[in-house]
Amino acid sequence: MIYKNFINNRWSDAEFGKTFDGVNPFTEEIIAQIPASSEPDINNAVRAAQAAFKDWSGLTAGERRDFLRSLANNSRQHAETLAKTISSEMGKPFKDALTEIDDLAEYLEYYSELARDQVGRLVAPVDQKSMSLVQYEPYGVVGCIIPWNYPLSLMGWKLAPALAAGNTIVMKPSEVSSLSILHWVELAAREMPPGVINVVTGFGQEAGETLVKHPHVPIITFTGSVRTGKRIARLAAENLKKVSLELGGKDPVIVCDDVDVEIAARGTCWGGFVNAGQVCTSVERVYVYENVAKKFTDALVEEAKKVKIGDPMDDATDVGPMASMAQLNNAIEKVNLAKEQGCRVLTGGKRSDKYIKGYFFEPTVFDKIKDEMDIVTEESFSPIIPVQKIHSMNEAIEMANSTKYGLGCTVFTKDIERALTAANKIKSGTICINNPLMENIAAPFGGMKQSGIGREHGIEALEEFREVKHIFIDYDYRNKSWWFGDKGGQ
């Protein structure tokens, strides 16, 4: 099937007619032809978004709320269709894909209401007869570059607060999961005013960089790798653009010696292998107290062996295929390098032979880890969990802080002092106690160090998409003593 870009509420071919293949990672079959867009297509989308901005930003917050609620309702109405698209193009189990749609609808509803309440504030005056109003205003056209691993959920992280704040948007989906967003626009956004939401598909250099460099796109929001995030920041700096970057992680789990190791192992297994390890906050390294290390590691290996990999549309499937051949090769390369550097594979470590086709990789657990190994220092974004022994919380904190990343961290312990000591000393945007990968839409999400700039979720996400203006009002209408000329006349 041949798809088109969505610009100004119309379907448009790429200007130069180029396309690329959409591939089902379970069957390895080509399922779509998707526009490989370039500069003319981005320019058309930005013009449409610019033209729509005046009317969209001029609506009341209540009027925008009604549009966002319509998007939420339409998303839920077509949840099964949209979830099937996610499963078919990036391999996520259908039951997990369904949660993306519900999350997206929740984001739209949450920000539709939050933006009605958060429009500005009155601050303390400097004189008796003066007022200082702080007013929040939208930037204009927001460039949204969406990742492939949670295409609709992470689209919602950006789209909902950006639209609620009064901006219009141009989205560039990942080439791996463009269909999910195109289908969503087709099914859910038909009632939106023309030009408010635009979708242009393609590759990073031709489409993504053009969007980042466009002079009429004052803000860029991106989720993806640290390397690409740095590239975006450099390009955006040329025009002093606002950037919001949610980047990679190397999230640790600390397992203390006071826990039920079976519970900790099960939670770690889920945190490391859900979505085939393709989560920015996946469990990517484990530090376990030495006196429970063997028992925990044995339990983790057994949990990993129980994980059911298979057809994304099968309700019994826990983990589907990797999203692309590139992701499968990435997992293979990471494991081969780890073995070369001396790691021991306890389970997994290879492409699954369960199916003749499909980009399946077995859930993998390593031990015999050293601090300097790549499997400890660099993001794998694969179903791979390396396990190291530690002797104290101080050592665990030091090791947790030892990488360039600071996105998330989990601590398994029953000791509140241990838990909060770790939470206070670990440089990470999110700390989870006894439950990995947990988020709260009302609480900020984002990274420290090289894991990102800015925050998503909560009031903080709304702030990312608004500029601040101070309006000073003096209602004591007379000459001032500090002005030049007449000193105190009426």
**Tokens matching residue 220:** 């860029």
For the chain, the average pLDDT equals 96
Residue 342 to residues 165, 334, 382, 419, 473, Cα–Cα distance (Å):
51, 13, 19, 32, 69
- Is residue 362 part of the annotated active site? The answer reads no
In the chain, CATH 3.40.309.10 covers 252-433
Contacts 24+ apart (CB under 8 A), 125-129: 127/474, 127/476, 128/476, 129/474, 129/475, 129/476
- Angle, nearest 10°, between helix axes 178-188 and 61-77? 110
pLDDT at 298 over 70: yes
Residue pLDDT, tens place only, 121-171: 999 999 999 999 999 999 999 999 999 999 999 999 999 999 999 999 999
Report the alpha-carbon angle 174-176-178, nearest 5.
Answer: 60
In the chain, CATH 3.40.605.10 covers 5-247+447-472
- Can you give the pLDDT at residue 124? 94
Grouping H, G, I as helix, E, B as strand and the rest as coil, residue 164 is helix
Size of the chain in residues: 490
The CATH number of domain 5-247+447-472, selected from 3.30.2130.10, 2.102.10.10, 3.40.605.10, 1.10.10.10: 3.40.605.10
pLDDT at 418 over 80: yes
pLDDT at 490 over 80: no
* Spatial distance between the Cα atoms of 40 and 43, rounded to a whole number of angstroms: 5
Q: Which of 144, 256, 269, 280 is catalytic?
A: 280
* Spatial distance between the Cα atoms of 198 and 182, rounded to a whole number of angstroms: 10
Residue pLDDT, tens place only, 307-338: 999 999 999 999 999 999 999 999 999 999 99
* Spatial distance between the Cα atoms of 43 and 242, rounded to a whole number of angstroms: 19
Residue pLDDT, tens place only, 384-411: 999 999 999 999 999 999 999 999 999 9
Per-residue pLDDT averaged across 214-243, rounded? 97
Per-residue pLDDT averaged across 201-229, rounded? 97
Q: Which of 89, 109, 209, 246 is catalytic?
A: 246
How much of the chain exceeds pLDDT 90, in percent?
A: 95
The CATH number of domain 252-433, selected from 3.40.980.10, 3.30.300.180, 1.10.10.10, 3.40.309.10: 3.40.309.10
- Can you give the pLDDT at residue 486? 63
- Is residue 191 part of the annotated active site? The answer reads no
pLDDT at 36 over 90: yes
- Can you give the pLDDT at residue 487? 55
